[in-house]
Structure 1
Amino acid sequence: MSRQRVSAAEGMETSYGFDTVSGREEKQARVDEVFHRVASRYDLMNDLMSGGMHRLWKNAMVAWLAPSRRPGWRFVDVAGGTGDIAMRIVKASGGHARGTVVDINASMLAVGAERAAKKLPGADLAFVEGNAEALDFADASFDAYTIAFGIRNVPRIDKALDEAFRVLRPGGRFLCLEFSEVDLPVLDRVYEEWSFRAIPAIGEAVAKDRASYEYLVESIRRFPNQANFETAIRKAGFERVTHRNLSGGIAAMHSGWKL
């Protein structure tokens, strides 16, 4: 059992929180079970884990993406089952963007489709069950690929990044929002205490599910830091790779272009 961050994306393949599992199939099955359990409380989960800041971070991500208002501009939001990012993108585009939400978890997709029908009736949004490691889309299908708080749960992150590059058109943008490594000396200790002591306890009290919250906290701690994740993005072929820290590095946005 290791509490250290992995130094490369490949290190997450058999990492289920701080535990090591037999392979990516076991990790995927265990992650799926977590998200089946928390699907109806996903926003609550993010509120607990970020102190409500995830809403501001998602807004910052969409602002940095700056969705086009050009008719026919297409994006895919991967691991975005509840539609939180996709609906923000459609709104920011003035309703012009055509979006596809992909998630491996049917429970998450059901929540997202229901919300979108209520909040954005008539929006050009499709909800599709699929695997980030093997997207069922043709090459060069999208102008933008987004993924928020999802890539650390993918067993083979390198494969997911390869797929992101493949489905983007030349000139397309990759944008990822993920919990990351805090870079402020005092904040890092405060956040560590909050993460490992408070969040699982609150998860047990509010959602009656301590184990899921323990996994999610541990998965954040294991994920590659900003520099190492940038290396993985470049390895997939992206250029002009950069990142922006949010709230002292509690989260970070990573950007890359297919040029």
Structure 2
Amino acid sequence: MNDERSRATGDMATSYGFTPVEDGEKQPLVNEVFHSVAKSYDVMNDVMSMGVHRLWKSAMVTKAAPSKIRPWRSLDVAGGTGDIAFRLVEASDKNAHVTVLDINGSMLDVGRERAEKNGLAPHLDFVEANAEVLPFDDNSFDAYTVAFGIRNVPHMDRALAEAYRVLKPGGQFLCLEFSEVDVPGLDKFYDAWSFNAIPPIGRMITGDAESYQYLVESIRKFPNQEAFAKAVREGGFSQVNYRNMTGGIAALHTGWKI
């Protein structure tokens, strides 16, 4: 078992958590995880982050700054349950139109149902597709968001290239992802919470500990802030930056298509 953090995004294609896999094997395994956790995904986000993910997501939406006046179109990748998309629509006073894209149909089913209940369906599209091969024209979106999903994409370089392609010139890339804790003491607490508490809680709430074992392992494998920022630059983006949140438990990465 290799629990060392990946130094480059390319290493993630052959790692299913701490388990080495062949290139091409990761995606079906990840798909099964999200079919399993779809119905409890948002509840477990509250549990895993002790509710703090709501503040992180609010900061992401504020940074995206959806327009309340002009037509504004955004793509939310790996956003099946709609959490970020709903926030963007509401922040725009229902002016924005957001396309929610996910490779997992079970996650999208949850999002569609929530959108209908919340009265937001007219402002959203739900598309089942792969982040590595987006079914959209060049220069289509004002913003591209992905929250806690990029680490599950096997070939992140392809996803970043696609993000750049579909953004309009002047469009913004925003990625919220778990990252490397940089506060002494917090890192030990966070490791203990992640590995000793989250899988058992997953079993209690969903009957599935194994999926949450993968999710916490995938967080530890994900490249740190500087390494991922480098990958975003290599994807073509300018003015690349990141902001640590809660001591680096999460980081908000941003870049612009100039």
Deviation at 1:48, TM superposition (A): 2.1
Q: Match of 2:137, as an amino acid? A: A
Q: Tell whether the 8 Å contact from 1:5 to 1:225 is kept in structure 2 after alignment.
A: yes
Deviation at 1:122, TM superposition (A): 5.2
Q: Tell whether the 8 Å contact from 2:112 to 2:121 is kept in structure 1 after alignment.
A: no
Deviation at 1:124, TM superposition (A): 1.6
In the TM superposition, 1:40-59 aligns within 5 A as 40-59=39-58
1:60 — aligned with what? 59
1:110 — aligned with what? 109
Bigger CA drift: 228-237 or 63-72?
63-72
2:82 — aligned with what? 83
In the TM superposition, 1:87-236 aligns within 5 A as 87-121=86-120, 123-236=122-235
Distance 1:146 1:165 in 2: 12
Q: Tell whether the 8 Å contact from 1:82 to 1:109 is kept in structure 2 after alignment.
A: yes
Structure 1: state its 5+ residue gaps: none
1:248 — aligned with what? 247
Deviation at 1:123, TM superposition (A): 3.4
Distance 1:126 1:200 in 2: 33
Deviation at 1:246, TM superposition (A): 0.7
Deviation at 1:75, TM superposition (A): 0.4
Deviation at 1:113, TM superposition (A): 0.7
After TM superposition, the score normalised by the length of structure 2 is 0.98
Could you report, residue by residue, the CA deviation over 1:90-133 in whole angstroms, capped at 9, with x for unpaired residues?
00011110110000000000100110111134532000001000
Q: Match of 2:15, as an amino acid? A: S
Distance 2:221 2:187 in 1: 15
Partner of 1:34: helix, strand, or coil? helix
Partner of 2:35: helix, strand, or coil? helix
Deviation at 1:47, TM superposition (A): 1.6
Q: Tell whether the 8 Å contact from 2:33 to 2:211 is kept in structure 1 after alignment.
A: yes
1:12 — aligned with what? 12
The count of corresponding residues between Structure 1 and Structure 2 is 258
Deviation at 1:70, TM superposition (A): 3.1
Distance 1:123 1:253 in 2: 28
Distance 1:100 1:177 in 2: 17
Could you report, residue by residue, the CA deviation over 1:64-100 in whole angstroms, capped at 9, with x for unpaired residues?
1111123321100000000000000000011110110
Deviation at 1:179, TM superposition (A): 0.4
Distance 2:190 2:256 in 1: 32
Q: Tell whether the 8 Å contact from 2:98 to 2:125 is kept in structure 1 after alignment.
A: yes
Structure 2: state its 5+ residue gaps: none
Percent identical across equivalent pairs? 61
Distance 1:254 1:120 in 2: 30
Partner of 2:25: helix, strand, or coil? helix
Distance 1:183 1:190 in 2: 12
Deviation at 1:152, TM superposition (A): 0.2
2:256 — aligned with what? 257
2:238 — aligned with what? 239
Partner of 1:197: helix, strand, or coil? helix
Could you report, residue by residue, the CA deviation over 1:11-48 in whole angstroms, capped at 9, with x for unpaired residues?
1011100001112x210000000000000000122122
Q: Match of 2:132, as an amino acid? A: E
Distance 1:85 1:176 in 2: 11
What CA RMSD, in Å, does the superposition of the two structures yield over aligned residues? Answer: 0.9
Partner of 2:171: helix, strand, or coil? strand
Distance 2:100 2:142 in 1: 14
Measured at CA, do residues 223 and 98 of structure 1 come closer, stay the same or move farther in structure 2, by a change above 3 Å? same
